[in-house]
Each structure stands twice: as structure tokens, then as C-alpha cells.
Structure 1
């Protein structure tokens, strides 16, 4: 979950460039097809045609930025924006070489100044009227814009489970757009190996109840419900989401409700935006100091797992969250077995 603060600005007026205007189409995340040197794919119901591999790409938030960096495309990026966490260490050097257009979403003027030939975001809010403008408008001005199938402008287009098939499809899409299909296939292969290893060890995870704590709003905890990526990660790792009955990706609950469900494990989002209570260390201290939460089984047994908040959204880093959770659950279950022996 992310809190998006969007600066008010005018819509994008003019962008240099020329590309075919997309036509609307049903579906999202369809496999790319190429013809006459161009790549056309469907992104959240909109046909996106890229006439040639981009050389001046702009990414509008961290997930999109890190995916292109994972594909080794920093030399074809002329702008990035909106970090919600620290950039992953493996991408830090490449990220440092890319101009940062804005702390949050860039304004229309900032995007225009970068003269992009491709724009990419994993968050629909980036293409809102107070951000860089609608993707169809950008395409009409010669700038194809791709949006992740996990967060379409039209929520009805976000169908099916939030899982790695969709993440891998996005990697494949972007690799095709940039003409680096081999890099995309290798990245998918590497991440599939992690999934296979986690699946093989899931039976050793002890079927523990897991609650994901993202943050608090006016003191009320925000936990992962049954429709988002944490649900998928928990199932793959061999655990059970203690709040799977909540029909939402993230939902507000109460500390009393958490105490009643008393999960075996608490996963703590580690946010680096600097607000009080955001870091995993702050959350750990709060849980141990409060008289109610200090009695939770997960707190008393020190079954607290810190995971960067960015990894809790579908992205190229989600596999890292899966590996961290899997290792923790297997370790906790093994310790229990040893204690019972």
C-alpha cells in the first residue's frame, strides 16, 4: 500500500515526437506482437504502440524504475521519480546515473523537459489529471505510455490473483518493448528458480498464521487482506494469512482484533519515508512497549519479520519478499519442532 501525494499541475500540453495513436482494446497485459520494427501490446485496455526500442524512457515511480534497472536499461532512461523506499542495493549505482525529475510525480512541464519517447508506471495515479495526464493523451502527442496490469485506471480490468505470472508477463512486455528479450527471459528464469525453491520448502513452514502490518492511521493498524500480493506470498511460503477474510488488498482493523486472532507471525513493513512509526524498528518497539500487543504470541516469541514496503507491492522485488518470508517461516517451524522434541 502506498500513500500518494500528487502536486496539482496542468495537463501535458506538447511533447516532441511522433508515434501511431493507440486504439482501445479489451484486456490487459497481453503478449506483445511486433511488425515493421514496432512493438504493439495491450496495457490496461489500451493499445500501446512503440515504433522503435525507446532511448529516452521516463519512469514515474519506484517499481517501474527498478524493473528497467533490473533489465540493465539505465543508459536508456532520461528520468525517474517518486521513491517510496530506498532503492535496492543491487540497483543503487545504476539508479544514481538516472536524472531524478521530481520527489513525487513530475509535473507536465518536467516531463516535457525530459523529452521522453516512452513513459512507464506501475501506479495508475501517475496518469491522473493532476499528474502527467492520461495515457491516451500522451499517445496522441507521440509518447507511448505503459501501465502495470496490477493497477489499471479502470479497476474492473484488474482481474485474477495478484501473483508472479502477472509480474513475469510485465517483465516480458518491457523486455520486448526495449528489444532485450534475452535479458527479460533470464530475469524471469532467475525469479522462477526462487519460486520453485520456496514451493519445495512450503511443507516445512508449519502452516503458521501470518499477519502483515503495513502502518497505522490515527492509531488503527493497516493489515493485508485476502486480495493482494501478501496473500499470494503467504500461500506460496506455506503459511496462512490471518486476515484473509478481508476483501481488500490492505484494510484497517483494530489492535483488539489482532489480539483476538493472535497470529503466530507478524510481518512488519519497513518504510524509509521518515515518518514516525514507519520503520520496522519503530513498529517493533511499539509492539513490545504496548501492554496489549506485548502479549501477542508473535511478539513474545520474537516472530517478527521485517520486509521493505516496496517489496509488498507487485514488482521485480516481490520475489525477495517471498524468499524472506519463506526462510522465516521455515526457521520458526523448525525451532518449534526442536522445542517439542
Structure 2
């Protein structure tokens, strides 16, 4: 008997998991939304970019709670003669997964993770009893890693979109519910019955956001946090390295039972990274400044973040290499004293002060101090998407773009 799935609800068909008591207040760092006003630093002096595409200096804003989705209805299957059969949603999941594996364009995730799969995230060992079916990616960079691995059918939600989605991921992204404009609050998150939470920012697990990873674990929800922004600042690597990005992709692939797909993604990224390094101009005598946002108080890349790593990899010098922070609050007099040869502009779509690349260029050309910089007078700008300057699936693209830009300007 041929069975055809019918339902008036488009959400994932998975039995909800039980939730526990509300989380207690923790010492996790506060979430700081898209506009900002103060530097967040660790005791060790390294900065703590509080949320995606944010740098030192913004106002704290209101957390968007997001709206809970409708209650999950009973799933119905119809046979060829339209007889309606009520079945348990677990069977529907199996049938839909089989259909997806046969031609939806989504990578098949029917393989089970090994029993008792473990991954370590920022010093916390996560126990993953089975392949997650209702994962939530707390921001765009986390979502794009999952979608690149073909995991749209395992996602119950995402949040915090900061840039246009990568063209190749637009279609699967539209199939993932967006839970909030910024981070979903605890109630909004738990309303989705998540069985795995993934974030690249510690601020996602602040009390006023999702709550601490410890509290989520008590509810049986493992939460993975990128090593680039651990709650314990001592666990953050001294510099942002591509190997850490590749390991993170491998960890997520392992959790979802698509290890071979993860290996293929990493292999392609390695190939592109090596090619970008080989094609970079040799013996380039150029000081490069990475300008993230802001005009009166510009956010400038120091030595320990991804921009510092990319600059070294391409054989150039970071104009602020002596600053042992990922990002720092600059001032134009100091920038003028360093007088960079090239300025890399992060192109942001938030609409804030000095966010877009064009807004930065306009300011640089009109400001009496900035307009005298060598890079500005010679129009030596390289533009990269804002999300690519944090460790993510886009980071290799940033290497390619900056390498090509340096070759064009100094080749």
C-alpha cells in the first residue's frame, strides 16, 4: 500500500522532550545586541565580542524572545485509496527521512551517531545519546555550518541573521524556522523542544538569552560552544587558527552522524586555503588595518583574532599587531600615526554607524584626519562580508578575497 504524507503543519515531526525547571542566574557574560557602546574584555585582557558581528562599544538592547510555534498536531498518513491512518510521529520521521535521502538535496542523516558519542566543547564533555532531530543554531554562522553539512532536516530553528545568507544555502535556510531577530530567550528556545543547541558566541548562553549550558544540560539538552568564545576565557586559544574551525566542523558532523560529509567539507576548505596562500603576493611590504565598524570610535582588529591570522598567512603585516586582543577600540590620531597601506572593510548590513563598506568609505574620505591616510588617498580598500571576519564556514572566503585584493593593489 503506497502511503502519502499529509499535514497542515510544516514543522519537524518529532516527539517533544520533557523540560525542567527554569534556569537560575549564572555568571555567564551578558548578551549585547547589534548596537553597542562598551568593550567587553576578559581578565586576561582579550576582548570578548559579545554577539555576532559586534565589536567593542554598543548599547545593550532588548532580547527578542521570539514566538512559540503552534502545538504539534497528530500526524496523518493516507493510503492510495485516501483512507486516513493515524500513526506515531516517530514512524513519520522514518518515512520522511527516507524520502529526503532519495532526492531532496539534503544530505541523508539516517546514519546513527555511535552510542554514547562524546565531543568536548570549551572544556565541557557533551554526551550525545543519539543523532539530534531538533537542533537549534543560535546565530547565522552556526546555521551555515549545519546547512553546509546538509542538516536542514535536523534543525528546529535558528536566529540572529547578520548578513545575507550564502547563495548556495538560501533554499535550505528558508526551511528552517527563525526563532528570533537576535537570540531567542530561554522560554522561546525551550518551546521548540530542542535536543541540541549550537552557538559560536558565549553570549547566546547568557541568563537573559538561552541560559547557561549547565542549565540546559540539566534538561537533557547538550549545548556546543565554539572554542573561539569560551565562557572560561582561559580556554580560548591565543590566536584564531583555521585548524580550530576545521575541528569544529568535524565535531558537528560527528554529532549528526555525517562524519564523511564533514571530512569532505574540510578537505575542500583546506584545498582552497592552501591555494589562496600560494597565490598571495610574495614579499609584500604593506601594513594592513581591519576596520569593522564605528566612525567616532572605530573597531579595529588586533593580533589574536581571525584577521590577524589571515594577515600573517598572506604575508602582510597587521598595523595593530602589537594589540593582543581580537578587536580593540581605536582612535583616528593613533591610526594616522600608524598610517596603514591597505584597509580591509567589513561590510555589515545592520544599518548602524559606519556599518556598511560604503558608509566607511564615505567617512574615511570626508574626515579631516582619516582622509590623509595613505590607504585612503590611494583608494586601497578591500571589502569582505562582516560575518567572514569571525571563525566560520566563510573564513576561507575572506582569505581568498583579501589575497586577491592585495594582489590587485600591490601585485
Q: What TM-score results when the alignment is normalised by the length of structure 1?
A: 0.86
Match of 1:291 among 368, 388, 396: 368
CA distance in 1, matches of 2:334, 2:309: 22
**Is 1:223 aligned to 2:279, yes or no?**
no
The corresponding residue for 2:165 is 87
The corresponding residue for 1:38 is 116
The corresponding residue for 2:176 is 98
Preserved contact between residue 228 and residue 391 of structure 2 (Cα < 8 Å): yes
1:68-126 Cα offsets, whole Å, 9 max, x none, are 01111111111001122222222121111100001111111211111111110000111
Instruction: Write out the 4+ residue segments of structure 1 that deviate beyond 3 Å after TM superposition.
Output: 1-6
What is the number of residues matched between the two proteins? Answer: 309
1:22-77 Cα offsets, whole Å, 9 max, x none, are xxxxxxxxxxxx99623111111111011111111101111111110111111111
TM-align CA RMSD: 1.8
Match of 2:137 among 59, 67, 70: 59
Preserved contact between residue 113 and residue 255 of structure 2 (Cα < 8 Å): no
What are structure 1's unaligned runs of at least 5 residues? 10-33, 335-341
Match of 2:216 among 106, 115, 138: 138
The corresponding residue for 2:402 is 325
Query: 1:223-242 residue pairs with structure 2 within 5 A?
Result: 223-242=300-319
Preserved contact between residue 206 and residue 330 of structure 1 (Cα < 8 Å): no
1:206-255 Cα offsets, whole Å, 9 max, x none, are 231100111126x1221101111100011111211000111211111211
**Is 1:169 aligned to 2:217, yes or no?**
no
Computing the radius of gyration over CA atoms, which structure comes out larger, 1 or 2?
Answer: 2
Query: 1:1-341 residue pairs with structure 2 within 5 A?
Result: 1=49, 2-3=53-54, 5=61, 7=63, 37-204=115-282, 206-216=284-294, 219-334=296-411
CA distance in 1, matches of 2:135, 2:305: 29
Preserved contact between residue 64 and residue 181 of structure 2 (Cα < 8 Å): no
1:150-171 Cα offsets, whole Å, 9 max, x none, are 1101101112321100000000
The corresponding residue for 2:80 is none
Q: What TM-score results when the alignment is normalised by the length of structure 2?
A: 0.72
